[in-house]
Amino acid sequence: MSTPSVVLTIIVPLIGVVVYLLPAPFEPVGFELQSPPYLGDALPVNDHLQRAEKILENQVLGPESLVFKDGDIYSGTADGKIIKINSNLELTNVLSLGSVYCGNEIECGRPLGLRFTKDGLLYIIDAHLGLFHVNVSTGERTRLVSGGTIVDGKPIVFFNDLAVRSDGMVYFTHSSTKWHRFQHVSLAMEGNNDSRLLQFDPTSGEVSVLMDGLTLGNGVQLSQDESFLLVAEGGRMRIHQYFLTSSREGEREIFADNLPGFVDNIRPSSSGGFWVALPTIRRHCLYDVFAPRPWLRKFLIKFFSPEFIVKSTTKPYGLVMEFAEDGHIVRRLDDPTGAVVSYISEVLDTGSSLYLGSYTSPFLAKLSLE
Ligand SMILES: *[C@@H]1O[C@H](CO)[C@@H](O)[C@H](O)[C@H]1NC(C)=O
Ligand SMILES: *[C@@H]1O[C@H](CO)[C@@H](O)[C@H](O)[C@H]1NC(C)=O
């Protein structure tokens, strides 16, 4: 046989068989996405976010979620702390939910979504430790739901975001029943749909399932009149609207579909709508190539770590979008090179400024609205 035919008939199939037999660390799942919109489809790409100012650089690590109370900003950090920043940008540690002597994120905790109720109680969802409310003046804390709690036969792993209704009902998401927060890249590469929207009823103490079958469920936000919830389904690039009024309770619609990036937290905007943070842009990563091709992901994860695959194929970008209550896009703000802000996870709109949180950045970004 000639060399080319030996390669074709023996070596190539042999390599194929060996690769096929190599174990994959997990089983990727395929699904269809609509083709991604061009970045400037909805509204033109701009560079408004490059005017943002970095504050408390290297003092605030990974401020994923932010909340405003009596002139102070509260945030959770990558090392498990809840911090408070006053108007003079002085920083104080409020508390840590995890153990004091901790060696890893599961013990230290990783606070994500934060909410204050009208009477001043701080609700915190921690990716590992669960759902809490805290009296920030005394530090007194109550755990409402613990990490790993089994709901409808499946454990809550990777708590993500929460919203609290004025009667104390808590709506929250968990992104996985298997992967921890620090494994979010594996979660995205696997692509399964075991993420849920849950409800904690303070009267009965019960946790129940409102939505199942989500891929990377993320931000949760109540409408102003509390008639519906918005629920980010990050891995499907869409936002669900879940109705709470007695006449439509439990009904759902798609609020926004085929967005240009993964959807993270959703928070109120000062004009009565919602700010949506999109940390990773579809046209700047390979997610759309991977989604319908689980075999390609399965092939790659036999050779490379999911972190390596994602890191080497993703370009940073800063994007936040404002939506009106009826779902139309009001405006967008971009940092197209990620030079100032990227991987934005939440927008805090104080009326005069936007503060941008990010689960990776070692700072807060502030953009004046004047
Ligand atoms: C926090 O605790 C103090 C002291 O017990 C109490 O006076 C205050 O009302 C509590 N705050 C909230 C928001 O419950
Ligand atoms: C979730 O994934 C399973 C298995 O891939 C599939 O059978 C099911 O229809 C999916 N559910 C939703 C809501 O997409």
Q: Could you report the per-residue pLDDT of 180-196, keeping only the tens digit for each?
A: 999 999 999 999 999 99
CA 155 to chain centre: 19
**pLDDT single digits (tens) 31-82:** 999 998 877 777 899 999 999 999 999 999 999 999 999 999 999 999 999 9
**pLDDT single digits (tens) 87-130:** 999 999 999 999 888 889 999 999 999 999 999 999 999 999 99
Of 193, 216, 238, 240, best ligand 2 pocket probe by most atoms within 8 Å of the beta carbon? 193
What whole-number distance in Å separates Cα of residue 275 and Cα of residue 294? 32
DSSP string, 22-80: SPPSS-------PPPPPTTSSS----GGGG-EEESTTTS-----EEEETTEEEEE-TTS
Stated as kind and residue range, the H or E segment containing 299 is helix 294-300
Sign of CA dihedral 285, 163, 324, 86: negative
DSSP assigned state of 121: P
- Cα-to-centroid distance, 82 and ligand 1 (Å): 18
pLDDT of residue 370: 80
Considering every ligand atom, which ligand is closest to the CA of 142? 1
pLDDT of residue 1: 65
Tokens 């509260």 identify what position?
Answer: 74
Q: What is the number of domains present in the chain?
A: 1
Assess if residue 234 is contained within a domain. yes
Q: How confident is the model at residue 85 (pLDDT cuts 50, 70, 90)?
A: very high
Assess if residue 232 is contained within a domain. yes
Assess if residue 90 is contained within a domain. no
pLDDT of residue 239: 98
Q: What is the pTM of this model?
A: 0.95
Assess if residue 132 is contained within a domain. no
Q: Do the beta carbons of residue 112 and residue 217 sit within 8 Å?
A: no
CA 245 to chain centre: 26
- Cα-to-centroid distance, 109 and ligand 2 (Å): 31
pLDDT of residue 192: 95
Q: What percent of the chain has pLDDT over 70?
A: 100
Q: Does any ligand 2 atom lie closer than 6 A to the CB of residue 25?
A: no
Closest CA to 109 of 142, 133, 77, 87: 77
**pLDDT single digits (tens) 319-355:** 999 999 999 999 999 999 999 999 999 999 999 999 9
Q: Does any ligand 2 atom lie closer than 6 A to the CB of residue 31?
A: no
Does residue 230 register a pLDDT over 80? yes
Assess if residue 5 is contained within a domain. no
pLDDT of residue 2: 75
CA 63 to chain centre: 12
Q: What is the arithmetic mean of pLDDT over 143-165? A: 97
Q: Does any ligand 2 atom lie closer than 6 A to the CB of residue 29?
A: yes
Q: How confident is the model at residue 364 (pLDDT cuts 50, 70, 90)?
A: very high
Beta-sheet strands, E only, within 185-285: 195-200, 207-214, 217-222, 228-233, 238-243, 252-256, 266-268, 274-277
Q: Which residues approach ligand 1 with their CB closer than 6 A?
A: 119-121, 135, 137-138
Of 70, 135, 136, best ligand 1 pocket probe by most atoms within 8 Å of the beta carbon? 135
- For 191-229, where are the alpha helices, taking DSSP H only? none
Q: Which residue has the higher pLDDT, 15 or 227?
A: 227
> What residue numbers bound the domain in which 194 lies?
49-58+144-368
What whole-number distance in Å separates Cα of residue 7 and Cα of residue 186? 34
Assess if residue 305 is contained within a domain. yes
Of 138, 141, 142, 164, best ligand 1 pocket probe by most atoms within 8 Å of the beta carbon? 138
Tell how strand 353-358 and strand 344-349 pair up: antiparallel
- Cα-to-centroid distance, 95 and ligand 1 (Å): 16
Token output for 9: 């008939």
Q: What is the CATH classification number for the domain harbouring 276?
A: 2.120.10.30
- Cα-to-centroid distance, 193 and ligand 2 (Å): 6
Q: Do the beta carbons of residue 162 and residue 111 sit within 8 Å?
A: no
Assess if residue 123 is contained within a domain. no
- Cα-to-centroid distance, 61 and ligand 2 (Å): 36
Residue 314, judged by CB atoms within 10 A of its CB (0-12, 13-18, 19+), counts as middle
pLDDT of residue 207: 98
**pLDDT single digits (tens) 261-319:** 999 999 999 999 999 999 999 999 999 999 999 999 999 999 999 999 999 999 999 99
Assess if residue 307 is contained within a domain. yes
Q: Does any ligand 2 atom lie closer than 6 A to the CB of residue 213?
A: yes
